[in-house]
Amino acid sequence: MSSRVLWVGLLCIVSSCAILEEGCLDVYATNFAVDVDKGCSACCTYPQIRIDLLHKIQVGDSLQNITPETVDYSDGAGHSFRIQDIRFYVSGIHLLRSDGMEVGVEETIALKKADGSTVTVENNVGLWTPSSLARFIPGTFKKADEITAVRLTLGVGQSISGTMPESAPTTHVLFPKTIPMWTASAGYTTQRVAIYPDNAVSGNSPIVYETTGQNAMRTIELPLPQAMKVAPGYHVNIVIQLDYSAWFASMDIQKDTSESMVSKFRDGFVKSIRVIQATSSEG
């Protein structure tokens, strides 16, 4: 028997030839493993902020899903119209804790400005439309504890507003789309609403209203129905309802100027949005 084999055998006797099991030892991770022998490097996964969006509008006595193109709606003056498209940016989504601290997301994105400099910001930007997927996941977080509200900004926020869309990944909501939400003169569009006055859809182009610039942005806090304890490693599930009736309730589509319409869309957003349900879950 060679001395090499004897040496390996001696090592096994001394160490019992044990193989240390690696795993995540961060209690705030979704894959926290208390029974592992050694913490792993960058193997932990963290819970998500999950937002389910309900796009509603008042029709008669009922609150219904908003339906572009085919359903007639009424403004505050009783004039009928149809919606061709609604879309708007939301950013800066944070959970607010009962101790006053904010919980942001772990993910970031690096964007370039026109002068070539780079800005790194939280990657929690959404482009919301009534036809978009119902669930929006801004990102992951580590420690939440007790949550009392959600804070978000209508628009892309000041840190992103001066960046170039082409610097974002092609699949990102900031990258140029078929329906443009950015111009060189005005930057990112905050809200875009396209409607058909008098329901004249066939053979007609919609009237498009856009809110742009810093004045178009609104940062608001949406209280939860009640404070919610979030256990370590649990996801946060938020149901947000938007009632677009608030966007049109004060309007007279036939008489209001474009400037007045844009202002009412902007202010109507604040009145239209609220959290109707908040839960936490392990899976």
State the pLDDT at residue 3.
45
Percent of the chain at pLDDT exceeding 90: 73
- Inter-residue contact 133 to 173 (CB < 8 Å): no
Which CB contacts under 8 angstroms, 24+ apart, belong to 24-30?
A: 26/142, 27/232, 27/233, 28/142, 28/143, 28/232, 28/233, 29/142, 29/233, 30/233, 30/235, 30/282
- Binned at pLDDT 50, 70 and 90, residue 283 comes out as confident
Per residue in 142-160, pLDDT (tens digit) is 999 999 999 999 999 989 9
Return the residue matching tokens 């078929």.
178
State the pLDDT at residue 6.
46
Per residue in 215-274, pLDDT (tens digit) is 899 999 999 999 999 999 999 999 999 999 999 999 999 999 999 999 999 999 999 999
The H or E element containing residue 219 is strand 218-230
Return the residue matching tokens 């009632």.
243
Residue ranges per structural domain of the chain:
3-39, 48-281
State the pLDDT at residue 7.
45
Percent of the chain at pLDDT exceeding 70: 91
Q: Mean pLDDT across the stretch 178-204?
A: 87
- Binned at pLDDT 50, 70 and 90, residue 202 comes out as low
State the pLDDT at residue 60.
83
Per residue in 40-81, pLDDT (tens digit) is 878 999 999 999 999 999 888 899 999 988 899 999 999 999
Q: Which tokens in the block code for residue 225?
A: 């129905």
Alpha-carbon gap, residue 60 to 69, rounded angstroms? 18
CA distances to 56, 63, 144, 241 from 135, in Å: 15, 20, 20, 12
Q: Mean pLDDT across the stretch 88-96?
A: 97
Query: Hey, which residues does 218 pair with through a beta bridge?
Result: 154
Q: Mean pLDDT across the stretch 181-190?
A: 92
Q: Integer distance in angstroms from the first to the last C-alpha of the chain?
A: 54
Predicted confidence (pLDDT) at residue 17 exceeds the cutoff of 60 = no
Q: How many CB atoms lie within 10 A of CB 10?
A: 10
